[in-house]
Amino acid sequence: MKFQNNISLKKYNTFGIDIIAEKFISVNTLSQLKEIISCHKDIFVLSGGSNVLLTQKIKKPVVHINIKGIELVGNESDNNAVFVKVQAGENWHEFVLWCLEHNYGGIENLSLIPGNVGTSPMQNIGAYGVEIKDVFYQLEALEIASNTIKKFDKANCNFGYRESIFKNIDKNKFIITNVTFKLTKKMHSLNTSYGAIQEELTKNSIKAPSIKDVSNAVIAIRKSKLPDPKEIGNSGSFFKNPVINRAKFNSLKQKYPGIPNYNISEDLVKIPAGWLIEQCGFKGKRFGNAGVHKNQALVLVNHGNATGLEIYELSQNILKAVLEKFDIGLDTEVNIV
């Protein structure tokens, strides 16, 4: 297998940043991946490129995971459950559409999320009341050090809000090669509690929604708020929604009575970072080629030929402004390289 030299990664990252990889290879099978790992341990793994901000030339060999395939795996213990094993290189939204076509329920709320299946567990992707951990059964990952496959069940992954062990203690140690989901075959348990989904269904006079109706509602909401990476480069939410203690929330509420919030526990409250950023005046603003999206301040965008550093600089200015105004430190959701 041969690496290509000096390849632009522009079409491999949803921000559309034009960064050069000194060495690049795309792998289609597990045996190709193992062959590479037998010679190269210090690599940069690239999947859908939907959660990464590239700020500098990549000197490590870039390995693009393009292993495809979807299959049902037997497990007859529950006659409403279906177990679907999906290879890492499958596009996430195309997999959602495949499930809808086969009437398999569980991931309809996760429609239109950019990226590939292999990276979906890394940050426990989530939207509109559902996270991947709700339908996750197990995954297989190649351990780089030993070049062997290891299996992880849900407990081993230690999922949290946009978190898993693959972003923390096991960062850069494994390459996820496939994920198995446990979905429903008929009695689907729909999650339509999210306000915007309810509104969308009511608007379309849908009283008894199917999984396809829920997916369509989510697609409509996302299209109205979030920019399509094919039209304008972005990586979805750039920051995580911060969680603060209740005493701090109460004092903020005095000053900003309309502050949106979600209860996490008796002591903890989550605040939408988009609101904090909008309050600091960034929403819809453009700084050179980098900007903040006009409908969702949590999303940073590439207006054309932004460099990774321009976007990074904007993110730092936002962090500083939110810290100064609210005394809240935001964490980035996107991986900065």
Residues interacting with ligand EPU, by CB under 6 A? 127-128, 225-226, 236-237, 240-241, 260, 272, 274-275, 278, 283, 296-298, 333
Instruction: Kindly state the smallest distance separating residue 33's Cβ from ligand EPU, in Å.
Output: 27
- From the list 50, 111, 237, 315, the catalytic residue is 237
- From the list 108, 131, 200, 333, the catalytic residue is 333
E strands present in the chain:
4-8, 20-27, 44-46, 52-53, 62-65, 70-72, 81-87, 126-127, 130-131, 136-143, 148-153, 174-184, 233-237, 243-245, 262-263, 268-270, 286-287, 290-292, 299-302, 335-336
Instruction: Kindly state the smallest distance separating residue 326's Cβ from ligand EPU, in Å.
Output: 13
* CB-CB neighbours of 252 under 10 Å: 19
Buried b (16+ CB within 10 A) or exposed e, 163-194: bbbbbeebeeebbbbbbbbbbbeeebebebeb
What angle (nearest 5°) sits at the alpha carbon of residue 94, between those of residues 91 and 95?
Answer: 85
Instruction: Kindly state the smallest distance separating residue 126's Cβ from ligand EPU, in Å.
Output: 7
333 in active site: yes
Instruction: Kindly state the smallest distance separating residue 317's Cβ from ligand EPU, in Å.
Output: 16
Q: Which is nearer to ligand EPU, 81 or 219 (CB)?
A: 219
Q: For the CA atoms of the chain, what is the radius of gyration? A: 20
Instruction: Kindly state the smallest distance separating residue 181's Cβ from ligand EPU, in Å.
Output: 19
Instruction: Kindly state the smallest distance separating residue 51's Cβ from ligand EPU, in Å.
Output: 8
- From the list 108, 131, 140, 162, the catalytic residue is 162
Q: Which is nearer to ligand EPU, 90 or 333 (CB)?
A: 333
Q: Which is nearer to ligand EPU, 140 or 333 (CB)?
A: 333
Q: Which is nearer to ligand EPU, 148 or 224 (CB)?
A: 224
Tracing tokens 């500098």 back to the chain, one arrives at 56
Q: Which is nearer to ligand EPU, 164 or 177 (CB)?
A: 164
231 in active site: no
Q: Which is nearer to ligand EPU, 167 or 240 (CB)?
A: 240
Instruction: Report CA-CA distances (Å) from 151 to 8, 36, 138, 164.
Output: 34, 20, 7, 15
What angle (nearest 5°) sits at the alpha carbon of residue 121, between those of residues 119 and 126?
Answer: 105
Answer yes or no: are the C-beta atoms of 236 and 248 closer than 8 Å: no
Answer yes or no: are the C-beta atoms of 305 and 18 closer than 8 Å: yes
Instruction: Report CA-CA distances (Å) from 135 to 58, 91, 95, 108, 213.
Output: 34, 17, 14, 11, 19
50 in active site: no
Q: Which is nearer to ligand EPU, 103 or 317 (CB)?
A: 317
E strands present in 246-329:
262-263, 268-270, 286-287, 290-292, 299-302
Instruction: Kindly state the smallest distance separating residue 297's Cβ from ligand EPU, in Å.
Output: 3
Pick from 265, 233, 234, 235: nearest CA to 249: 265
Active site members: 162, 237, 333
